[in-house]
Structure 1
Amino acid sequence: MKTSSKLQFALKPLALLCLTFFITIFTIFLSSPSQSTAGSNSMASRTFILWLHGLGDSGPANEPIKTAFTSPRFANTRWSFPSAPFQPVTCNRGAVMRSWFDFHVIPVTANCSVDESSLLKAVQHVHSMIDKELAAGTDPKNVFICGLSQGGALTLASTLLYPKTLGGGAVFSGWVPFNSTSSIIEQITPEAKMTPILWSHGTADQTVLFEAGQVAPPFLQGLGVNCEFKVSLNLSHLKISSN
């Protein structure tokens, strides 16, 4: 979707993103004993994958990602590609674009600050979508939150702040949107700490620097959260195009 800003963050070539996404999600599926076998149609065994896009992007623009998942394991899967609201973004000089929450600088470093109130508002929105899915009968351990860039940061916060153990969270080129002094840490429940996190980050990322991803595993493990970090050598981030 086009925005009124001069800068728009678009996805890398879809094939490359799909490959990385497939490897990460399939790894989670293989490690999750609660997954259903092919042919199961019950709500309890249905898988729910929630994909959170990056800054300036939209949910519908990311829907082609699911076409890469033809394995029988994904036969009973519901996908959701929500769009962030339009709001001013400080790092883009106040330009109005689709953004989950406000943050202050690009490139994102290991110490990037975000507006915590807007982050928590976005987390509540994600949680409402998960709550609706669970109310329909889906097992929490069959729920997976995935996100790219800003959506990856929101994925992490949403996963850690959800009061139940979920199937997993997958962060692509994201960052930890809070620090060791944040009140968010006190809200992480023992159940949430049991949700596995898989993180993929490119060493050539110049938008969300590799260092921003690299500090995540030790930080999260210090909180008691299991995080597996996958390095993509020479992989950059997103293309910036004029609009």
Structure 2
Amino acid sequence: MTITTDTPLLDTVEHETGASPQWSVLWLHGLGADGHDFAPLVPELVRPDWPALRFVFPHAPVRAVTINNGVRMRAWYDIVGMDFPTRADSAGIEESLAQVDALIAREQARGIAPERLLLAGFSQGGAITLAAGLRRQVPLAGLIALSTYLPGASQAARHRVAAATAQPVFMAHGMGDPVIPLIHAEQSAQALGELGFDVEWHRYPMAHQVCAEEIRDLGDWMGRRFAL
């Protein structure tokens, strides 16, 4: 199968849990991190009865981030202010959505159909995950959004593609998150539910991070996807 895209592919870190992977997990890091950030999570998350997986951790482009005094760092989009409805740079989001589509197309060219690919992200990477999922004309196996929110949640209906709601969503957040307050995640989960998405929502007594209970719950959710 040959699938072409005009968008250059991002550099990635990859980890395969077995020979001839049957599924892929495309995982987007948070602001200022890189593709190595969540790679150590793989052995904690993966279970012995799962099929062989290919984890793909891309590096976001380096760009100036306005709220960080214009310092250049890896970011999926610029953050132009503290007001959540308008803080995300729309041009940067569109660029990142195209880059995610290109990586999904590469997985398809490598034999992983969209219905066997999970798109995951933490914080800023999770925002791109939800924005990408909202527009998917060919549904993925599911969306994983950790410590994040949906940019422009109040206007999400404008971008939603009808077929996209076939994608189940796992959302999890820290109750004491100082970076993305819990209320914004809750509002995003509610907005997705109202649009027809099947959202499994979790919150934990933590800050802007992941915890063991979250990894356990995510593993349970992923296992149900693989069993279908």
> TM above 0.5, one fold?
yes
Q: What TM-score, normalized to structure 2?
A: 0.77
Query: What's the counterpart of residue 62 of structure 1?
Result: 38
Letter in 2 for 1:218: Q
State how 1:84-123 maps to structure 2 within 5 Å: 84-106=60-82, 109=84, 111-123=85-97
Whole-angstrom distance in 1 between the partners of 2:19 and 2:142: 21
Structure 1 residues 95, 75: closer, same or farther in 2, change over 3 A? same
Contact 2:18 2:53 in 1 (8 A): no
Query: What's the counterpart of residue 209 of structure 1?
Result: 181
Whole-angstrom distance in 2 between the partners of 1:48 and 1:178: 28
Picking from 159, 166, 191, the partner of 1:194 is: 166
1:215 alignment partner, SS class: helix
Q: What TM-score, normalized to structure 1?
A: 0.73
1:171 alignment partner, SS class: strand
Whole-angstrom distance in 2 between the partners of 1:215 and 1:72: 35
2:203 alignment partner, SS class: strand
2:148 alignment partner, SS class: coil
Q: Higher relative CO (CA 8 A, sep ≥ 6), structure 1 or 2?
A: 1
Whole-angstrom distance in 1 between the partners of 2:37 and 2:18: 29
Contact 2:28 2:120 in 1 (8 A): yes
Structure 1 residues 104, 75: closer, same or farther in 2, change over 3 A? same
Letter in 2 for 1:222: E
Contact 1:103 1:114 in 2 (8 A): yes
Contact 1:113 1:178 in 2 (8 A): no
CA drift of 1:62 comes to 2.5
2:132 maps to 1:161: no
Structure 1 residues 70, 181: closer, same or farther in 2, change over 3 A? closer
Contact 1:163 1:192 in 2 (8 A): yes
For the aligned residue pairs, the C-alpha RMSD in angstroms reads: 2.2
> Equivalent pairs: percent with the same residue?
29
> What is the total number of aligned residue pairs between the two structures?
193
1:220 alignment partner, SS class: helix
Contact 1:127 1:162 in 2 (8 A): no
Whole-angstrom distance in 1 between the partners of 2:46 and 2:197: 31
Query: What's the counterpart of residue 11 of structure 1?
Result: none
More off after superposition, 64-73 vs 79-88:
64-73
Query: What's the counterpart of residue 27 of structure 2?
Result: 51
Query: What's the counterpart of residue 19 of structure 1?
Result: none
More off after superposition, 64-73 vs 144-153:
64-73
Whole-angstrom distance in 1 between the partners of 2:184 and 2:175: 11
Letter in 2 for 1:69: L
Whole-angstrom distance in 2 between the partners of 1:159 and 1:73: 27
Whole-angstrom distance in 1 between the partners of 2:18 and 2:57: 24
Structure 1 residues 81, 148: closer, same or farther in 2, change over 3 A? same
1:60 alignment partner, SS class: coil
Listed as ranges, the gaps of 5+ residues in structure 1 are 1-37, 239-243
Structure 1 residues 69, 220: closer, same or farther in 2, change over 3 A? closer
CA drift of 1:75 comes to 4.5
Picking from 116, 126, 129, the partner of 2:103 is: 129
CA drift of 1:39 comes to 8.6
1:72 alignment partner, SS class: coil
Structure 1 residues 192, 75: closer, same or farther in 2, change over 3 A? same
